[in-house]
Amino acid sequence: MKARFSDIQVSVAAPELRLEVSCRLENRGPEAWIPAKGFAFSYQIFDPSTGTLVEDGQRTEMGGDIAPGDSVAVRLSVPLPAQPGDYRVYVSPLVEHQAWFYERGSPFLLLEARVEDGRAELRRRGVSTLGRVRLATLARSLGRAAWYPARSLVRHRSLIRSLVSRDIAGRYRGSYGGLFWTVIHPLLMMAAYYFVFGVVLRARFANDPRPSSFVLYFLAGMLPWLAFSEAVGRAPTVILEYRTLVKKLVFPIEILPVNLTLAGLVSEAFGLILYAAGLWYFDRPFAPAMLYLPVLVAPQVLLTLGLCWFLAALGVFFRDVGQIIGFLLTLWFFLTPICYPEASLPAEWLWLFSANPLFGLVRNYRRILLEAAAPEWGSVLALSAVAVAVFLAGHAWFYRLRRSFADLI
Amino acid sequence: MVKVHNVSKLYRLYRRPADRIWEAVLPGPAERHQDFWALREVTFSVERGETLGIVGPNGCGKSTLLQIVCGVLDPTSGRVARGGRVAGLLELGAGFSPEFTGRENVYLNGEILGMSRAEVERALPRIEQFAEIGEFLDRPVKTYSSGMYVRLAFSTAIHVEPDILVVDEALAVGDAVFANRCVKKFQEIKKRGVTVLFVSHDLSLVKLIADRAIFLREGRVEAAGEPSAVINRYIGLVLERQKALEGSDGASAAALAASFRHGDRLAEVASVELLGRQDGPTRVVESGEPVVVRVTSRFHADQPDPMVGILIRTRIGMDVFGTNTKLQKLAMGPCRAGDTLQVDFHFDCWLCPQEYTLTVATQHPDGSSHDWLDEALAFTVVASRFSAGVANLHARAVARRLPGAAA
């Protein structure tokens, strides 16, 4: 199935919003085009912004068999929809109930028209192939992938703020402690770990004999991990949780994973304040180095958010992800040196463990919080690069799949 | 302005969720799904300030169409153009969370529907006023009655000030007073130039507020245009179906539906028909329309003084009107076994628009029943003017300004 177009002429018939097309078509394929076998000539109109088919055109007879190498002059007219907007028209031969030539890689005539104020304007015409059109679409969507996530965050910032505050307030709504629990919760957790590791197990760290040493080490890694795992753990089910918003309202669903990420971050912020108080209580220096924290928090947020977007979309298609994510996070937790010292990792496999972006994150948190030093810039840079990549890819993935969410849940 | 061009929606139905994965993963044409076209080549447009009513039987694609117009669903093919901000009332109170107060929910819901916080703040007094829930605004939504919930949700959504409002059966809930106020609100926003699309099973409501209507059937536009013409078409279809159903049942007394039937069956009710102005049976009556209730009964024993009666009730079972041949002083004479008797009750149906049921009976002169069928038939009264209550007293209002008393 291959056709060659030549002598192409396209004109706009203004009052009826009609494109008049005439061209010469040559049969470049190995078989004859036989009208009785369903060979015909027609067009399809697409909406370029979504790629959906708007109209399937009337078939034009070829007026006789066309043997390979022969050519035929064809005329056809394409009535455009009266609705204002951009339209993309594919003009191509087809075999009825089988395929369009263009779907099988044959060149076709591509027309781009705009309807505005009851007038049609031809903006582009030319012979193209499906492969080339797809490539152009891909290039465009790559461009979009880079700036859509940022645009969406900025555009919906007020809604994001409201949703995050509702998420946090909602957790403890109806309990007597209320918002107080956001503080009590991490405090109790830290006290429990202190008791278990510092007092009962007497775990000490390095050459530091104080009971607080292991706990502070452990918590420095645990705080970012909790923010990360809290968000990622909820991500696969978040779309289902807010299904009425997806199905019944015009709602920017891409901000639901954002909401998770930020809610996790708020818990971490409370934890960090308590942690700082703990450092002061145990007589450890901390103050100026804490100013480096935003350098770590930024990639942490991007990484979490990217993963949340990825998992949220995946969870709609495979509900099983919601079940398995808890296990995966536990595994991840133990593969990251949070509750054990880095030194206990086998040295020859260290390169593999360092590929874990959370390893770099946790390690730099410790440098800032425990050693009161600047982060290792090299690993921060690597982490940031990974985080940005995950962020962009996660959003692109989510953006691509979100269209079918409402059909699936 | 909303323009819907050639919109179709295809659902792929899989028997098992795993089939979806297999089809995506396995190569080859092995199809594991069934195609279901929820909408087929639907085209219509609604101009600014115009109200379009959408009617049709359950499962005809009405809700899918509204979801596509809102942008919640994407069409499989075709295109929808919307001129301005769309507010969808597909489900009242979608996004409300029970633990939060009404006020908090209004804020968040308003923002979700596309208002800024400042806009919600400005609209809040009006929302509060329209919802009429008083101090409950500052109590958790979980403590609301369902009526209050609906009022608050509707009030929030309608104050978003959209250019296009899409409503799916939202008015089916709430009491008559609230429904009436909603209708007024609709007319008010229509004057402001808001385009309204709504789905309703309440045909009189469609007649009342829609400028145009479309009738969807199996995903296709079956009729479009003047609401009354479209509705007649729809009613015609319903009747046709009913007839087909009855026909397949063998159109005997056995086909007569009744919620409760009792009596000695010495005189059996063979059929009950409601005949409207147009020839033939109907289930929808215009308020004030002359109608005939035709009761056919068959006698299995001699009856010296038979009696046939009818009783109209509201949907909740309140007696509205009843009469019988004795009260009408209709002398029918003795009937013998094997006779078939047809009695027509003529009256002008001055009832208010709502659903009614018709109960019929054949009785012995002493009042004991031969054959009594409760709710043998249901019918709907429609009117172009809304009125409250049951009896349409066909009132006219006259006003005169009295001269003020001189000081």
B74 touches chain A (CB under 8 A): yes
Chain B partners within 8 Å of A85 (Cβ): 79, 81
pLDDT interval class at B220 (50, 70, 90): very high
| The one-letter amino acid at B95 | G
Cβ neighbour number for residue A323 with a 10 Å cutoff: 11
CB pair distance less than 8 Å for B117 and A162: yes
Q: Which residue has the tokens 């465009």?
A: A140
Residue A120 distance to chain B (closest CA, Å): 17
Chain A partners within 8 Å of B81 (Cβ): 83-85
CB pair distance less than 8 Å for B117 and A158: yes
Examine the domain organization and report whether B285 and B139 are in the same domain.
no
Residue B351, token pair as written in the block: 């009832």
Rg (CA), chain A: 30
**Whole-number mean pLDDT of chain B?**
83
Encode A308-319 in three state secondary structure.
HHHHHHHHHHCC
Cβ neighbour number for residue B311 with a 10 Å cutoff: 19
CB pair distance less than 8 Å for B78 and A85: no
Examine the domain organization and report whether B225 and B304 are in the same domain.
no
B88 touches chain A (CB under 8 A): yes
Determine if the pTM surpasses 0.80. no
Residue A228 distance to chain B (closest CA, Å): 26
A112 touches chain B (CB under 8 A): no
Chain A partners within 8 Å of B140 (Cβ): 174
CB pair distance less than 8 Å for A163 and B99: no
Question: A228-245: b or e for each residue (b if 16 or more CB lie within 10 Å)?
Answer: bbbbbbbbbbbbbebebb
Structural domain contains residue B93: yes
CB pair distance less than 8 Å for B111 and A54: no
Residue A263, token pair as written in the block: 């809610």
**Most confident residue range from A32-36, B32-36, B42-46, B238-242:** B42-46
Examine the domain organization and report whether B51 and B131 are in the same domain.
yes
Q: Which residue has the tokens 């309990």?
A: A175
Nearest to B3 among A50, A83, A249 (CB): A83
Examine the domain organization and report whether B147 and B264 are in the same domain.
no
Structure-derived torsion over alpha carbons of residues A190, A194, A197, A201, reported in degrees to the nearest 10: -150
| Residues 6 or more apart in contact with residue B190 via CB below 8 angstroms | B49, B51, B196, B209
Examine the domain organization and report whether B277 and B314 are in the same domain.
yes
Examine the domain organization and report whether B182 and B294 are in the same domain.
no
**Using CB atoms and an 8 Å cut-off, which of residues 6-35 of chain A contact chain B?**
none
- B272-282 pLDDT, tens digit each: 989 888 767 88
Euclidean distance between CA atoms B281 and B274, whole angstroms: 5
Residues in chain B: 407
CB pair distance less than 8 Å for B73 and A406: yes
Examine the domain organization and report whether B46 and B77 are in the same domain.
yes
Structural domain contains residue B9: yes
Chain B partners within 8 Å of A81 (Cβ): 5-6, 79
Euclidean distance between CA atoms A275 and A190, whole angstroms: 9
**Using CB atoms and an 8 Å cut-off, which of residues 116-155 of chain B contact chain A?**
116-117, 140
A84 touches chain B (CB under 8 A): yes
- B198-208 pLDDT, tens digit each: 888 777 778 88
B63 touches chain A (CB under 8 A): no
Nearest to B70 among A83, A169, A250 (CB): A250
User: Average pLDDT in the A49-56 region?
Assistant: 84
More confident residue, A294 or B385: A294
Q: Write down the pLDDT at residue B254.
A: 41
CB pair distance less than 8 Å for B78 and A54: yes
- B340-366 pLDDT, tens digit each: 999 999 999 999 888 888 999 998 888
Residue B107 distance to chain A (closest CA, Å): 9
The domain tally of chain B equals: 2
CB pair distance less than 8 Å for A173 and B99: yes
Residue that is last in its domain, among B207, B235, B263: B235
Nearest CA in chain A to B75: A52
- B70-108 pLDDT, tens digit each: 888 888 888 888 888 888 888 777 778 888 889 988 988
Structural domain contains residue B160: yes
Residues in chain A: 409
- B299-309 pLDDT, tens digit each: 988 888 889 99
CB pair distance less than 8 Å for B72 and A248: yes
Structural domain contains residue B393: no
CB pair distance less than 8 Å for B111 and A247: no
Q: Write down the pLDDT at residue A390.
A: 95
Residue B99 distance to chain A (closest CA, Å): 7
Examine the domain organization and report whether B230 and B282 are in the same domain.
no
Euclidean distance between CA atoms B82 and A355, whole angstroms: 49
Q: Write down the pLDDT at residue A297.
A: 94
**Using CB atoms and an 8 Å cut-off, which of residues 181-200 of chain B contact chain A?**
none
Q: What is the CATH number of the domain that holds B277?
A: 2.70.50.60
Contact A39, A63 (CB under 8 A): no
Chain B partners within 8 Å of A158 (Cβ): 111, 116-117
Examine the domain organization and report whether B293 and B321 are in the same domain.
yes
Structural domain contains residue B246: no
Examine the domain organization and report whether B268 and B211 are in the same domain.
no
In chain A, the percentage of residues whose pLDDT exceeds 70 is 98
Q: Name the DSSP class of B140.
A: B
Is residue B130 within a helix (H) or strand (E), and if so which, with residue range?
helix B117-131
Q: Write down the pLDDT at residue B215.
A: 93
CB pair distance less than 8 Å for A244 and B76: no
The yes-or-no verdict on residue B255 having pLDDT over 60 is no
Structural domain contains residue B274: yes
User: Average pLDDT in the A352-376 region?
Assistant: 88
More confident residue, B38 or B21: B38
| Residues spanned by the domain of B20 | 2-235
Say how many Å lie between the first and final Cα of chain B, rounded.
55
**Whole-number mean pLDDT of chain A?**
86
CB pair distance less than 8 Å for B108 and A158: no
Q: Name the DSSP class of A60.
A: B
The yes-or-no verdict on residue A333 having pLDDT over 80 is yes
Nearest to B88 among A170, A250, A403 (CB): A250
- A151-205 pLDDT, tens digit each: 888 888 888 988 888 888 877 777 777 777 777 877 888 788 778 877 787 776 6
Examine the domain organization and report whether B136 and B199 are in the same domain.
yes
Residue B60 distance to chain A (closest CA, Å): 17
Categorise residue A321: left if φ over 0, alpha if ψ from -120 to 50, beta otherwise.
alpha
Structural domain contains residue B133: yes
Q: Return the number of CB contacts < 8 Å for A and B.
A: 93
Examine the domain organization and report whether B315 and B204 are in the same domain.
no
Nearest to A52 among B78, B97, B116 (CB): B78
CB pair distance less than 8 Å for A81 and B117: no
Q: What is the CATH number of the domain that holds B224?
A: 3.40.50.300
CB pair distance less than 8 Å for A166 and B5: no
- Angle separating helix axes A357-369 and A293-317, nearest 10 degrees: 150
Nearest to B75 among A52, A245, A317 (CB): A52
pLDDT interval class at A11 (50, 70, 90): confident
pLDDT interval class at B252 (50, 70, 90): very low
- Angle separating helix axes A181-193 and A212-241, nearest 10 degrees: 140
Q: Which domains does chain A have, with CATH numbers?
A: 3-128 (2.60.40.10), 150-401 (no CATH)
Residue A383, token pair as written in the block: 């982490």
**Using CB atoms and an 8 Å cut-off, which of residues 167-206 of chain A contact chain B?**
169-170, 173-174
Structural domain contains residue B398: no
